[in-house]
């Protein structure tokens, strides 16, 4: 069975949003010959320049040379998204494709095109973290989940930016051909298999700009001892600094306080545990150092904008 994948581009698209998924499907075809047929389309067709200046050749939207029996449509993102989402022809094509395709997906700001076509109304979706607030503001009927690698809501899949398109495509391959094939593809591409859709677009340790080994050691110590009390004095001891020196150095390097950083680490760990399933909310709260479920709920609302139960429901819906 050959699945027709149509990738929709536009002038100023992000090259990685196209190349990442295309590479995943191409390599999957090496392991399962004939699994996919790829076609690139653009409103007028012809040579289409990416934001980098490199160009691809695309068929026009109505070109019969493209397989009309489209299994999956992927709308890429990039700087030209604004023009694409304002094109009646593009929106009509996306709506028509979504009506017949098995899956409709987007990478990065391609979600704006799906939203402009009305396909995300009443659905959960994500996009590049930098554009999430704008997506929520311009399309209030969409439930934007800004801190997700990708989101699956029925037949609609949306992903975060740039390399998240690879995660999305690997998940689509797993959905089609099984996780073993997707794992082979990931190994061939030398990328992680797998970052689940619910994984955060960020890591607290990576996100904090740590310049010194001492502050870095303190953060690593905190992550390894989240279930325990972590006052500034204990973190300072791990950094081999006085509490006053440590607090000053920590704020200077990270732009936040040790207490706020620890709270972020705990939310990050608790979210991963909730998405993995198994442990109860109360057990996760204790293991993450919150002490009780109510304290964890308040931290989730403050940092993620949703309670732990909503995170768990989303993970279960995505796995279903």
Catalytically active residues, by annotation: 108
Please state, in angstroms and rounded to a whole number, the distance separating the CA atoms of residues 263 and 204: 10
Beta bridge partners of 150: 159
Contact 318, 151 (CB under 8 A): yes
**CA-based nearest residue to 98, from 169, 157, 16, 142:** 157
Count CB neighbours of 89 within 10 A.
13
Residue whose structure tokens are 């996100």? 207
- Among 276, 266, 273, CA closest to 303: 266
Residue 207 vs residues 47, 98, 164, 200: alpha-carbon distances, Å: 38, 36, 17, 11
């Amino acid at each position: 069975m050959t699945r027709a994948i149509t990738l929709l581009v536009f002038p100023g698209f992000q090259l990685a949003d196209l190349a990442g998924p295309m590479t995943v499907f191409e390599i999957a075809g090496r392991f399962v010959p004939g699994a996919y047929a790829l076609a690139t389309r653009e409103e007028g067709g012809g040579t289409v320049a990416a934001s980098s200046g490199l160009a691809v050749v695309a068929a026009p939207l109505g070109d019969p040379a493209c397989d009309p029996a489209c299994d999956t449509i992927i709308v890429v993102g990039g700087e030209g998204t604004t023009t694409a989402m304002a094109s009646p022809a593009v929106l009509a094509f996306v709506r028509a494709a979504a009506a017949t395709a098995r899956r409709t997906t987007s990478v990065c700001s391609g979600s704006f095109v799906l939203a402009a076509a009305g396909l995300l109304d009443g659905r959960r979706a994500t996009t590049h973290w930098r554009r999430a607030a704008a997506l929520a503001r311009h399309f209030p009927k969409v439930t934007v989940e800004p801190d997700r690698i990708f989101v699956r809501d029925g037949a609609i899949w949306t992903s975060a930016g740039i390399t998240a398109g690879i995660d999305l495509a690997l998940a689509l391959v797993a959905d089609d051909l099984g996780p073993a094939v997707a794992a082979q593809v990931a190994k061939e591409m030398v990328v992680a298999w797998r970052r689940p859709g619910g994984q955060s677009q960020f890591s607290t340790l990576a996100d904090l700009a740590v310049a010194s080994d001492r502050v870095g050691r303190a953060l690593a110590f905190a992550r390894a001892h989240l279930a325990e009390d972590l006052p500034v004095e204990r973190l300072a001891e791990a950094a081999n600094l006085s509490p006053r020196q440590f607090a000053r150095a920590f704020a200077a390097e990270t732009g936040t306080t040790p207490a706020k950083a620890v709270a972020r680490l705990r939310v990050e760990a608790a979210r991963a545990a909730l998405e993995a399933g198994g442990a109860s909310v109360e057990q996760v709260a204790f293991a993450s150092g919150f002490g009780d479920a109510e304290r964890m709920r308040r931290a989730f609302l403050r940092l993620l904008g949703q309670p732990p139960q909503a995170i768990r429901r989303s993970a279960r819906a995505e796995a279903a």
